[in-house]
Amino acid sequence: MAWEHFPVARGQRLTAAMLNELRDAAQERGLTVPAAVAAGDSANAVSGFILSLRQQIETSVQNGWWWWVESWTDPVTWSIWKLSLAETNASAFPPLKNVFEAAFGAGHADWRREGTNPLEAQELNDIYLVLKTLKFIPVTESAVIPLPARERSVGYDYTTCSAALTALDAAPFAGITVSDSTVHYTSVYQRSSLPPFTNYAARQWYSAFVRGFVIPKNASKLYLRWGPWAGRYVFPGGTQGLAREQYGHLLYGQGPPPSDFYDEWGTYYDTIIFASGTAHNFERVEKFDAPPEGDFYFAMYGEPAMSASGAGLCGLGSYTPYSAYEYVRMGDASGSPPYPSLIEMNYTKS
């Protein structure tokens, strides 16, 4: 059930039921808790109870259990922190938010009272406020699944880059298996084994990439964190902006992921438009309300209706053998290891 006794008003008589409600909330969050308080327990016993709860909360934060979604407006406008006992540090990797500042507001970096006798309402309310902050946990990622791709290619039969890509536009697609998070790929390259590296070949594929998660019981929200990438790359010059708009189509589903690109599956969610002229590598956080318990899959599909010649892959450099490609990729979130997607738990005492 929801909180019954909190917040406690100043001057209100403090009871064993209040203390035990804090205990229940801590236990629901997986913390080791002291024995329940009984009416008539000594002041020393109550102080020991409060100290134990505080220590267990601090230990769970110190061990990295908790994150904090300060705000979420849309997939590219949000503020997410890892909770810490240290000072707030927005420049850390990941950004760290002091748990007491998150619970009490700016200017607080510790419990506001030292657990003195006699016990006062603020000491109970502080534990209550901190427990309410502890509700965002990493979600278990169960699988990453590349779908079989549709691919076409032409061999080293073309004396110019543009001729190879134009020929590729007319080539049919066939199915292949690609173990890659790249959902669109167009490339052109010269033979690298034998000088003078003259003739060109080209290749293109589109596919889908699926990520799987395990949603726990009583999940209120899923904040799914990942990184879309798109651009062009020329060897050895590096990444360049796209020469055209590209697209990533996002779907989600609770059932088993599809076995083929063209299988009917999932619910349409959004389309990312990667603007021309820019190389894209950023983070998104998708918010899903009340995700059902069990398996949850999220996928990005490449756009199949993209020509090879429109990728703008010729003339990007002078190095031989020439090699350039265009890509759209479903990447990880930032961080090493990547920062996790999060579940906001719908605790009974939230």
Q: Quickly list DSSP for 48-61.
A: HHHHHHHHHHHHHH
pLDDT at 327 over 60: yes
Give this prediction's pTM.
0.94
300 has which bridge partners?
Answer: 209, 250
Residue 59 makes CB contacts below 8 A (sequence gap 6+) with: none
At 180 the pLDDT is 85
Per-position DSSP letters for 313-324, written without gaps between them: -TTS---SS-EE
More confident residue, 255 or 324: 324
Give pLDDT tens digits for 71-92.
999 999 999 999 999 999 999 9
151: nearest Cα among 283, 20, 11, 304: 304
Rounded mean pLDDT, 82-104: 97
- The whole-angstrom separation of Cα 8 and Cα 258 is 52
What average pLDDT is seen over the chain?
94
Q: What is the mean pLDDT of residues 183-199?
A: 86
Read off the amino acid at residue 164.
A
| Max intra-chain CA distance, the chain | 93
Averaged pLDDT, 160-179 = 92
pLDDT greater than 70 at residue 203: yes
Res 256: pLDDT: 84
Residue type, 318: S
**Cα first-last separation, the chain:** 10
Write the pLDDT tens digit of every residue in 16-38. Answer: 999 999 999 999 999 999 999 99
Range 204-213 average pLDDT: 95
Name the token pair of 337: 């290891």
CA distance 242 to 279: 6
Give the pLDDT of residue 183.
Answer: 96
Q: How large is the average pLDDT for residues 45-66?
A: 95
Q: C-alpha 77: how far from its chain's center?
A: 13
Asked if pLDDT for residue 177 goes beyond 80, the answer is: no
Q: Which of 315, 196, 184 is CA-nearest to residue 245? A: 184
What was the pLDDT predicted at 7? 95
Q: What is the mean pLDDT of residues 151-160?
A: 95
pLDDT for residue 116: 58
Q: Give the angle 256-338-324 at the CA atoms, nearest 5°.
A: 85
Query: Is residue 242 scored above 60 in pLDDT?
Result: yes
Give the pLDDT confidence score for residue 119 in this predicted structure: 79
pLDDT for the residue numbered 114:
65
Residue 1: pLDDT over 70: no
Q: Which residue has the higher pLDDT, 233 or 115?
A: 233
Lowest mean pLDDT among 47-61, 78-92, 106-120, 180-194: 106-120
Burial classification of residue 273, based on how many CB atoms lie within 10 Å of its CB (0-12 exposed, 13-18 middle, 19 or more buried) = exposed
Least confident span in 2-6, 44-48, 84-88, 328-332: 44-48
What letter represents residue 195's amino acid? P
From 329, 341, 228, 330, select the one nearest 288 (Cα to Cα): 341
Lowest model confidence (mean pLDDT) among 66-70, 210-214, 255-259, 277-281:
255-259
pLDDT value at 176 more than 90: no
pLDDT of residue 115 exceeding 60, the answer is no
H helices of the chain, in order, are 16-28, 43-62, 99-104, 121-133, 161-170
Sheet architecture: strand order including 267-274: 140-146, 208-215, 294-302, 246-253, 267-274
Question: In terms of Cα–Cα distance, which of 190, 165, 154, 157 is closest to 319?
Answer: 190
